[in-house]
Amino acid sequence: MKFVTDLISAQDAKTEKLTEAGSADTVALTPSGDETPTDSMPPESGDQPLAWAPIEPAPKKKRLGLWIGLGVGAVVIGVGAASMILIAPGTTVAGIPVGWMTPGAAADVISAHVSETEVTLTGAGDDVVLTGAELGAAVDASALADKAFAEHPMWNVGAWMGEPVAGEIALDPAVADTALRDAVPASFEDPVDAGVVFDAATGSYVITPSATGTGVDVAALNEAFIDTIAEGGKSFEFPGGPAEAAPAVTDEDATALATSINTMLGTMGFYLGEERTVPVDAATASTWFTVVDDDGTLRIEADQAAIQATVDALPAAVDRAPVNATQIVDSSGKVLRTESEGVNGRALSDTSNLASDVADKLEAGESVFPISVTETPFSAVTLLRKIDVNLSSQTATLYENGAVVRSWKISSGKAATPTDVGNFKVYAHVRSQTMKSREPDGSITETPNVPWVTYFNGDEGFHGTYWHSNFGNRMSHGCVNMPIDVARFVYEWSPVGMEVSVHN
């Protein structure tokens, strides 16, 4: 290795000398290594042969400036990329700083801050400390963090130090109440809610009054919790002594529901169309439902089994056979009067879901329960009525469809004032009137308060007679005298247009 080193050193030295001389002659080397001296270059001493050593490559240029530039560029790119995923500096959520954070990290910080915030209960609270976690403090941290990033992204310089992002922090009422009761039991005396019950004596619903109690005000504690965090704090004090605790259900609340229920009782029942076919009385209704206090809210709770017992008895109240219509007609079939209206028969339809439907309606505050029926049409029955007056036998006989209904003795017109013979029709009814009759000598006889007059021929008619009882003999001025009860029967039995036959 020394040989090579020396060659390199010699070559470098020679090259340097040649460079310094500038005009020095070039020395030629023979293949054998012998050097032929010239006039300008004497031979070197020694017998060592000469050979060319490899020339080292020129050293590379250093690029420190380039590497510094690349580093700064990478930093700039990194900062730019970070600005796309971070929340802007100066951003707060519900008072909690979240600048320079990703939404995920911000959500963790928000949750932790809320959970770790402490309240010291003073006074009767004996300085007991409770955390947000123990009070059931909750906040939608993920949604708020996403909102903060959406409204205040770091890349938007205009959003830096922007308006705070509001966030709702809520204590769980049940969790907070339990924790506070454990911490300061002496501060709690439960209030009594007003209620609604049935009063059998009045057949209506009445209220049971409410009563106030004491406790730690969870709503006020929640506000203080929110305010503390909003102001950047993480601990605060709150009175642990008893404050008035109002009932969840007031007397006014209970009165309103009782009034509504009593109004329902006035219309409660099973309806066919607009008709309340089967009314439900208050006593029965009171077995169907009760009023319960559901976490401070009064509501109606129905008993489907009790309702079913009434539903099972409905057919007896709803079902009926058809009632035929009765019409009085004359010989031509013309209807003179409807004696009774026809009524369709009916049978209750399927009620398998009725009790459940009624329960649902009651709980919704409704009192009308529709039912459906299958109807059987009624038929019409016609009655052909006639009155036959036999002057010879002094009788009046009532016929219906050819059958005798009743027959009585009468007093028709005397020989001087006979009752006309012929076929007539009833044309008027008069409950009572004063009658005037002309005597054969021309004088006028006046009879007041003649009852139950049924006219069939001019001024001739059937009527009650209170001035004699000589029936079966001719006694009148042309009318047909009858006992008062018989005259009333004829009056009510004979429609206008009914046929009357008078003969000897």
Element (H, E) at 256: helix 251-265
- pLDDT value for 298: 97
Tokens of 460: 């001739």
pLDDT for 114-157, tens place per residue?
999 999 999 988 999 999 999 999 999 999 999 989 999 999 89
pLDDT at 232 over 60: yes
- pLDDT value for 251: 97
E strands, 148-221, where? Answer: 170-171, 195-199, 204-208, 213-215
**Helix crossing, 354-363 with 304-312: angle to 10°?**
130
Sequential DSSP letters for 408-445:
EE-B-B-SSSPPPPEEEE--EEEEEEEEEEE-TTS-EE
Tokens of 404: 């005798």
Over range 99-126, report the average pLDDT. Answer: 94
Q: Where are the domains of the chain?
A: 1-58, 266-376, 382-503
pLDDT at 280 over 80: yes
Element (H, E) at 70: helix 64-83
- pLDDT value for 167: 85
CA-derived radius of gyration, the chain: 61
pLDDT at 24 over 50: no
- pLDDT value for 61: 47
Q: Specify the pTM.
A: 0.55
How many Cβ atoms sit within 10 Å of the Cβ of residue 38?
12
Please state which architecture CATH assigns to domain 266-376.
Roll (3.10)
Over range 306-333, report the average pLDDT. Answer: 96
pLDDT at 208 over 50: yes
Over range 372-393, report the average pLDDT. Answer: 97
How many Cβ atoms sit within 10 Å of the Cβ of residue 213?
15
Q: Do residues 213 and 247 touch, judged by C-beta distance below 8 A?
A: yes
CA distance 364 to 357: 11
| Confidence band for 501, pLDDT divided at 50, 70 and 90 | very high
- pLDDT value for 309: 96
pLDDT for 28-75, tens place per residue?
333 344 443 433 344 444 444 444 444 455 555 444 444 344 343 443
Burial of 9 (0-12, 13-18, 19+ CB in 10 A): exposed
% of the chain beyond a pLDDT of 70 = 84
| Confidence band for 109, pLDDT divided at 50, 70 and 90 | very high
Output the CA torsion 233→237→242→248 (10° steps).
Answer: 0
Q: How far, CA to CA in Å, does 375 sit from each of 127, 317, 322, 378? A: 78, 15, 9, 9
- pLDDT value for 25: 39
- pLDDT value for 23: 38
| Confidence band for 84, pLDDT divided at 50, 70 and 90 | confident
CA distance 273 to 306: 25
Sequential DSSP letters for 238-251:
EE-S-EEE--SS-H
Q: Which of 73-77, 81-85, 273-277 is predicted least confidently? A: 73-77
> How many Å from the N-terminal Cα to the C-terminal Cα in the chain?
182
Assigned fold of 382-503 = L,D-transpeptidase catalytic domain-like (2.40.440)
